[in-house]
């Protein structure tokens, strides 16, 4: 039996599929953020600095700093990323600007089989797009050094007020999802949904549906966009406060929660207690606030995705 209700066990999408691939915390201190992931029962990878390949006038290749580095918690479905600034580049300055609003989750990335095709679709759908970018980050594997490579389709600043919302294609699955990083003391196995509070749910849902190429459906929590794996739940500030009663909303829009599938709620709760992470156990799910080094927001853990409070919400006609 699968740990959550989404049907696709492959790590990467095929054909026209689109998955919620990862969410990204923007953090000031990568070591503290890594320790915070560990305290919540995640296995954290070593730090990695991201670079962009570059070909000079001589035709020889090289790399330049993208401006960010990361630490990740790799899951059997998707992953959690912590991004920190490494250089004064446009990407590094974007991170600073986002963190001036709040420290926490500012990135949601969606994977497809062909980022180039997604880039063309975004442009034809009325988005102002940046050039398709090819990024790399060095990784150590059990057989030696390797390079994680991926292509990313992004829109211009201001197009997606929710944060760095992007579509990507992974080219090196084995280097990214190494088996040694996929086992977590808290029993986490997969990323399910991301929850975004916004002042105008209808506008955000229409725009995100156009961005993702999927329909938005109303439910009693707000509006949901279900993908081939995972999804996006859009809510008002009041609805988010009902989901997480003691979560302070810094400003809108706010990527306030994301959901993680776990093998066992009792195992999860034991792990959170050992790490000193406060949580509440409700009807079928566990809500835990991020440790401060990961910013403002929280996790919602479930054994099965239908137990998520927003997925259990009645769909409106």
Query: What tokens were used for 29?
Result: 């201190």
Is the separation of the CB atoms in 32 and 89 below 8 Å? no
Is the separation of the CB atoms in 82 and 30 below 8 Å? yes
**pLDDT at residue 312 is higher than 90:** no
Same fold across 19-181 and 188-307:
yes
Distances (CA, A) of 124 to 100, 102, 169, 201, 203: 33, 33, 19, 24, 19
Domain boundaries, the chain: 19-181, 188-307
For the domain spanning 19-181, the CATH number is: 3.10.180.10
pLDDT, tens digit, 9 for 90 and up, residues 145-161: 999 999 999 999 999 99
DSSP label of 157: T
pTM score of the predicted model: 0.92
Which SS3 state, helix, strand or coil, does residue 217 take? strand
pLDDT, tens digit, 9 for 90 and up, residues 230-260: 999 999 999 999 999 999 999 999 999 999 9
57 Ramachandran zone, left/alpha/beta (phi>0; psi -120 to 50): alpha
Q: Which residue has the higher pLDDT, 81 or 315?
A: 81
Q: What is the fold, at CATH topology level, of the domain defined by 188-307?
A: 2,3-Dihydroxybiphenyl 1,2-Dioxygenase; domain 1 (3.10.180)
What's the average model confidence in pLDDT over 164-186? 97
């Amino acid at each position: 039996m699968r740990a959550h209700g989404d049907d696709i066990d492959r790590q990467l999408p095929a054909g026209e599929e689109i998955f919620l691939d990862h969410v990204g915390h923007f953090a000031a201190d990568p070591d503290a953020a890594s320790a915070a992931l560990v305290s919540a029962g995640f296995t954290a990878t070593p730090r990695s600095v991201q670079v962009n390949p570059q070909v000079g006038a001589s035709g020889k290749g090289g790399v330049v700093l993208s401006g960010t580095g990361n630490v990740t918690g790799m899951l059997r479905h998707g992953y959690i990323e912590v991004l920190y600034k490494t250089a004064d580049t446009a990407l590094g300055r974007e991170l600073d600007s986002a963190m001036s609003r709040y420290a926490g989750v500012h990135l949601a990335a969606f994977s497809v089989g062909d980022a180039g095709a997604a880039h063309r679709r975004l442009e034809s759908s009325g988005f102002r797009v940046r050039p398709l970018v090819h990024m790399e980050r060095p990784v150590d594997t059990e057989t030696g050094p390797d390079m994680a490579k991926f292509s990313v389709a992004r829109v211009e600043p201001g197009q997606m007020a929710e944060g760095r919302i992007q579509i990507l294609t992974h080219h090196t699955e084995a280097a990214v999802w190494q088996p040694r990083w996929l086992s977590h003391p808290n029993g986490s196995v997969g990323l399910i949904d991301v929850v975004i509070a916004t002042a105008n749910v209808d506008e955000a849902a229409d725009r995100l549906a156009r961005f993702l190429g999927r329909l938005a459906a109303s439910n009693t929590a707000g509006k949901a966009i279900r993908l081939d794996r995972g999804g996006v739940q859009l809510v008002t500030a009041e609805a988010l406060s009902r989901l997480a009663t003691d979560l302070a909303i810094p400003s809108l829009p706010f990527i306030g929660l994301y959901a993680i599938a776990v093998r066992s709620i009792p195992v999860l709760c034991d792990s959170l207690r050992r790490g000193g992470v406060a949580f509440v156990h409700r009807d079928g799910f566990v809500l835990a606030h991020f440790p401060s080094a990961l910013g403002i927001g929280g996790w919602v853990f479930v054994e099965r995705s239908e137990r998520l409070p927003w997925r259990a919400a009645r769909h409106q006609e």
